[in-house]
Chain A
Amino acid sequence: MNVTCTGRYLTVTVRQMVFILLISAALGTAVNLIRPDSIPFVDSWSMADKLVAEDGDTLAIPFEDAATLFAENAAVFLDARTPAEYDQGHIQGAVNLPWHDVDIYFETVIMTLDPEAAFITYCDGDACLLSHDLAMLLKDLGFTRVKVLVNGWTLWKEHNLPVTTPSS
């Protein structure tokens, strides 16, 4: 294939790529405009925003408040991550309640919890939904004092607060 042909081939390739991208964008936009369950083209993706209920109450607990409750031993921390992640390190005294296997842990963990106690669920990462989903389940089950510590594990480590690791 000579240079002229290669150049021509590239021109056609780029042109077709642009056509395909434009068609896809047009289809995606048009279908979202007419479908009943459309989503906003631009949305807020802050986890703190997502934890705010319709009545304005928020599930999220500020890190400082969580640390205070921990120091006063006034709340039970629930780790919503997998047992493997929990074993690698968790907030000291936290109970593992993996969201993905929550049905398995229902009798052994959830049934033993005091519905009147304060609970703080956490997982890892700003976008992690495990702690949010676990908190919602507990609320549905009648637990009234449930909060979510967004990005809990990372924040806890960054502030050098007490943790339990295999080495400790």
Chain B
Amino acid sequence: MPQKRLSHDTTLSLGYHFIRLVMAGVFIYASIDKIIHPDLFAQAVYNYQVLPGYLVNLTALILPWLELTLGACLLINRWMAGTSALAAGLMTLFVGLTLFNLTRGLDISCGCFSAAPDENPITVLTLVRDISFLILSLGLAGYRHCHPNFKHPGAVYEFQR
């Protein structure tokens, strides 16, 4: 039995780290083009037609850095409680926006991985992809909540990780 339990925990841990690295890659990759082209990304944010005009540029300036920061935290496995919760929250927001615009039938760019307004139109595949990332993010948050300390099972928490 202990061996089985160990094997189960190891598998979960490996899965957690694999998903963590995948999501790190997703967030970092998603942030690069938006950081390079803030003007184009601002246009993409505006095209969603969900924010008042005065918040469009602020969102376009800060959101890519939030994605990059989350990607970096995921990559180095730090502040994972907050990171995984924010990642799940962000993906929930993206899924909601994608669903909203699909329902409205707006022909706009996703702005997910490229800031260019003429690329990556929102489709059902965009929604499926975002839901997949949301599930992975929720998995990270759930695992982190249930396993707050990997290194020292006897300790209550190791919050700085």
B-contacting residues of A (Cβ < 8 Å)?
A: 1, 5, 8-9, 12-21, 23-25, 27-29, 31-32, 37-46, 81-82, 85, 100, 123-130
A-contacting residues of B (Cβ < 8 Å)?
A: 35, 38-39, 42-43, 46-47, 49, 53-54, 56-58, 60-66, 68-70, 73, 79, 81-83, 85-86, 106-108, 117-118, 145-146, 148, 156-157, 159
Please determine whether A9 and B148 come into contact, CB atoms closer than 8 angstroms.
Answer: yes
Q: How far is the CA of A13 from the CA of B64 in the complex (A)?
A: 21
Provide 19 A-B residue pairs closer than 8 Å at the C-beta atoms, listed in order of the A residue.
A1-B146, A9-B145, A12-B81, A13-B85, A20-B70, A20-B82, A23-B69, A27-B65, A28-B63, A32-B38, A32-B61, A41-B58, A42-B57, A43-B57, A45-B46, A85-B107, A126-B49, A127-B47, A127-B108
CB within 8 Å for A5 and B61 given contacts A13-B85, A20-B70, A23-B69: no
Please determine whether A16 and B65 come into contact, CB atoms closer than 8 angstroms.
Answer: no
A interface secondary structure, majority: helix
CB within 8 Å for A20 and B60 given contacts A5-B157, A12-B81, A37-B39: no
Contact check: which of B46, B54, B61, B159 meets A12 at CB < 8 Å? Answer: B159
What are the residues of chain A within 8 A of B54 when measuring CB–CB?
42-43
Please determine whether A24 and B66 come into contact, CB atoms closer than 8 angstroms.
Answer: yes
A-B contact count (CB 8 A): 108
Residue of A nearest to B156 (CB): A5
CB within 8 Å for A16 and B35 given contacts A8-B157, A27-B65, A43-B56: no
Shortest C-beta distance, A58 to chain B (Å), equals 18
Give the most central of A13, A18, A32: most B CB within 10 Å: A13
CB within 8 Å for A17 and B61 given contacts A37-B39, A128-B107: no
